[in-house]
Amino acid sequence: MDFDLSEEQRLLKDSIDGLLTDSYDFESRKKYMKEKGGWSKTVWLKLAEQGLLGLPFSEADGGFGGGGVETMIVMEALGKALVLEPYLATVVIGGGFLRHAGSDAQKAAHAPGIIDGSKTLAFAQLEKNSRYDLFDVATTAKKKGDGWVIDGEKFVVLNGENADTLVVTARTKGDRRDKTGVGVFLVPANAKGVTKKSYPTQDGLHAADISFTGVEVGADAAIGNPDDSLALIERVVDEARVALCAEAVGLMDESLKTTVEYIKTRKQFGVAIGSFQSLQHRASDMFVATEQARSMSMFATMANDFENAKERSNAIAAAKVQIGKSAKFVGQQSIQLHGGIGMTMEAKIGHYFKRLTMIENTFGDTDYHQRRVADAGGLI
Amino acid sequence: MDLAFTKEEQAFREEVRAFFRDNVPPDTRRKLVEGRHLTKDEMVTWWRILNKKGWGVSHWPKQYGGTGWTSVQHYIFNEELQSYPAPQPLAFGVSMVGPVIYTFGNEEQKKKYLPRIANVDDWWCQGFSEPGSGSDLASLKTKAERRGDKWIINGQKTWTTLAQHADMIFCLCRTDASAKKQMGISFIVFSMKSKGVTVRPIQTIDGGHEVNEVFFDDVEVPYENLIGEENKGWDYAKFLLGNERTGIARVGVSKERLRRIRDLAGKVESAGRPIIQDAAFREKLAACEIELKALELTQLRVVADEGKHGKGKPNPASSVLKIKGSEIQQTTTELLMEVIGPFAAPYDVHGDDGSNEAMDWTAQIAPSYFNNRKVSIYGGSNEIQRNIIAKAVLGL
């Protein structure tokens, strides 16, 4: 039992914190947001240079063999700096599918480009009616010769505008809500029949709604078993949830820090408003919520290595519940304690609130995961 | 960062668990599960079993009878003890006055009191709060005047837990009225059998008798019963209150109660089926379990930090333990109320002093709910805890 970082982990934390302190202040972020697809290629290549894009890949695949704690460190730092670049979509999710189920050929084709920063990925999973159920897939992949033909519509695909390769969930057999018959396919973003409608999201990221009309892919497009990959999808999405928990902790840390600094300096009635007990108690409750979230982010990181998939999913669902509740409280109260200035686009606190809000609704909201834990028989 | 228990720690957990299974008297365990009170005899019997095993004062230094366990071992011991459940050692002796005596007392005092604390030969109670001194404890007025080789003590203490059983009291008394309020306080111990000590019960909203008022009317106490230096009592009180940082979360207690709720909810019917099959109830229960898991992890962070860096510098996360721990304990008693529903109402006029075996188990659910409102008030109310976080952690 040891919650301290190892020497290497501390170095990793210092290096990413240092990089983001230098290149990711709030004003720079506004500029990056205006670049194509909503993020900065220059920053992305800096992340690659420091080895961060190859962090979770094995050394055999050209990476550094980092584990869950390393990803947690990176995601917390990305959250703290409100980073726009597609680390989650490319390294955690896209890379996750390759790491867990990619063939040698698939890894050889995609991992080097991810690691050196030349290629990014996006996860095309959400559908009009699927909401948070990962097995709910209407998009079809029909066998044609050795390959497949993909038809369907995907929504709110993060990094959908810039991605070179789309990781698409599609059904090879069965009905929309069957738990078997779902596969995962690598689709070049420029394949014939792929059309995209891109837009910024509420939290300043960019996403796209993507339709697939008779998109033909080869036999090498399927990752894992094309007829039965729900367990794989759950595995990778669980890792994405764990990463989001860590990102949210970074966001909450920074929100609390910014808010406490603000109420120490903002004066009304001739004194700093932070001298009022009602505000002090609110800030204390934000601290409590943040620490509880940090504990559960660590728990989720640990649970990601559980061998039993049910226990793993249950623990990660529980973490997402705590994160969702804490994020909502810390986000809302950050705005409240800032008062009017917190309502403006100009102040950075509102942008933290918006990202925290969107995280709650990504890969299952608080109610969804609470129900999962309840139906799994609880957590004691 | 390594978030798993070691093999040795897991083996230790098994050892502790087996000891409780073989040695806690079954009736004592059953009463705790059902939320009933224990008699003095039942408690003392168990504590002596524990002391015989060498675990009665586990966290004391080895030379005074402690175990030399690591922080993690202490954590495991407490969690197993609370969740078995078995009675926790009498905090007033073992966690409060004991450490003050072995840290600030003289050799004679150590020899005289420590073994008797460990074996509960003396039942200790705490003389801190007064009618006018709750959260503002340093404003206390109970006076100890030096007269030759004696102290003459006059005043009143209140909320004195289980003073009806007590042989000894440790008391904060004002010994210098002219000094700034924190500076003129001394830490004095004396027998509850002394002439001039009167104990009056306070009946709390659960109908029980746990706390008392204690009056001192010209109580004569030998001068040598002063612990440490005169007028340094406030420092010792702060030491005492800061000593038990992690036990306050009572994670094991809440765990045990949640298991009981789950068990009862599988039996008690609502709408023609067990209430656990009601989705709304089940989600509320899950929500509480998740909060508790987060608290358990927060507590482990504090424990691991103490183990690695010593107890000197409090981990900022430790401030969370009291607030969340008390809120969760209260939520568990609310959930029990919800399970039992209309059968929470019948009141047993004979009360529960540990000897009323005829009392139905359902009769203790509502009193336990009422009684647990105290946990966000005592030990520094949750509002005081928020003041502490604002000041010590956030720098406000």
The model's pLDDT over B147-180, given as tens digits with 9 standing for 90+, comes to 999 999 999 999 999 999 999 999 999 999 999 9
pLDDT category at B3 given cuts 50, 70, 90 is confident
Angle of helix B251-265 versus helix B71-83 axis, rounded to 10: 30
Residues in contact with A86: Cβ distance below 8 Å, sequence separation at least 6, in sequence order: A39, A120, A121, A122, A158, A159, A162, A163
Instruction: Give yes or no for a contact between B160 and B126, defined as CB atoms under 8 angstroms apart.
Output: yes
The full DSSP string for A350-380 is HHHHHHHHHHHTSSS-HHHHHHHHHHTT---
Q: What is the CA radius of gyration of chain B?
A: 22
Report d(CA A17, CA A11) in Å as an integer: 10
pLDDT score of B206 more than 80 = yes
Q: Tell which of B3, B284, B322 to mutate to test the A interface (max A CBs under 10 Å).
A: B3
pLDDT of the residue at B314: 62
pLDDT score of B316 more than 90 = no
Q: Hey, are the CB atoms on A298 and B297 less than 8 Å from each other?
A: yes
Chain A within 8 Å of B292 (Cβ-Cβ)? yes
Digit-coded pLDDT (tens) for B87-141:
999 999 999 999 999 999 999 999 999 999 999 999 999 999 999 998 899 999 9
The candidate with the shortest Cα–Cα distance to A319, out of B265, B289, B320, B68, is B289
Beta pairing class for B150-161 and B197-202: unpaired
Portion of chain A with pLDDT greater than 90, in percent: 98
- What tokens were used for A7? 């020497």
Please tell me the pTM assigned to this model: 0.94
The candidate with the shortest Cα–Cα distance to B346, out of B329, B358, B354, B335, is B358
- What tokens were used for B396? 């406000």
Eight-class DSSP state of B193: T
Mean pLDDT of all residues in B24-29: 96
**Phi and psi at residue A195, to the nearest 5°:** -125, 140
Chain B within 8 Å of A307 (Cβ-Cβ)? no
Q: What is the CA radius of gyration of chain A?
A: 21
Mean pLDDT of all residues in A71-76: 98
Q: Give this complex's ipTM.
A: 0.94
Mean pLDDT of all residues in B264-270: 94
pLDDT of the residue at B25: 97
Cβ neighbours of A379 in B, within 8 Å: 286, 289-290, 292-293
Digit-coded pLDDT (tens) for A94-104:
999 999 999 99
Q: Which residue of B has its CA nearest to A281?
A: B386
Q: Which residue of A has its CA nearest to B382?
A: A281
pLDDT score of A1 more than 90 = no
One of B244, B291, B296, B327 is an active-site residue; which one? B244
Cβ neighbours of A313 in B, within 8 Å: none
- What tokens were used for A29? 């972020």
Cβ neighbours of A287 in B, within 8 Å: 316, 319-320, 389, 393-394
pLDDT score of B341 more than 70 = yes
Instruction: Give yes or no for a contact between B156 and B174, defined as CB atoms under 8 angstroms apart.
Output: no
Give the nearest partner residue to A291 out of B3, B304, B320, using CB atoms: B320
Q: Hey, are the CB atoms on B387 and A280 less than 8 Å from each other?
A: yes
The full DSSP string for B278-315 is -HHHHHHHHHHHHHHHHHHHHHHHHHHHHHHH-SSS--
Q: Hey, are the CB atoms on B3 and A9 less than 8 Å from each other?
A: no
pLDDT of the residue at B312: 61
- Residue B22, burial from CB neighbour count under 10 angstroms (0-12, 13-18, 19+): exposed
Portion of chain B with pLDDT greater than 90, in percent: 80
**B230 catalytic residue (yes or no):** no
pLDDT score of B318 more than 80 = no
- Residue B186's identity, in one-letter code, is S
Report d(CA A244, CA A250) in Å as an integer: 10
| Structure-model confidence comparison of residues A306 and A160, the more confident one | A160
Chain B within 8 Å of A10 (Cβ-Cβ)? no
Portion of chain A with pLDDT greater than 70, in percent: 100
Report d(CA A25, CA A27) in Å as an integer: 6
pLDDT category at B311 given cuts 50, 70, 90 is low
Report d(CA A355, CA A201) in Å as an integer: 10
Q: Hey, are the CB atoms on A380 and B3 less than 8 Å from each other?
A: no
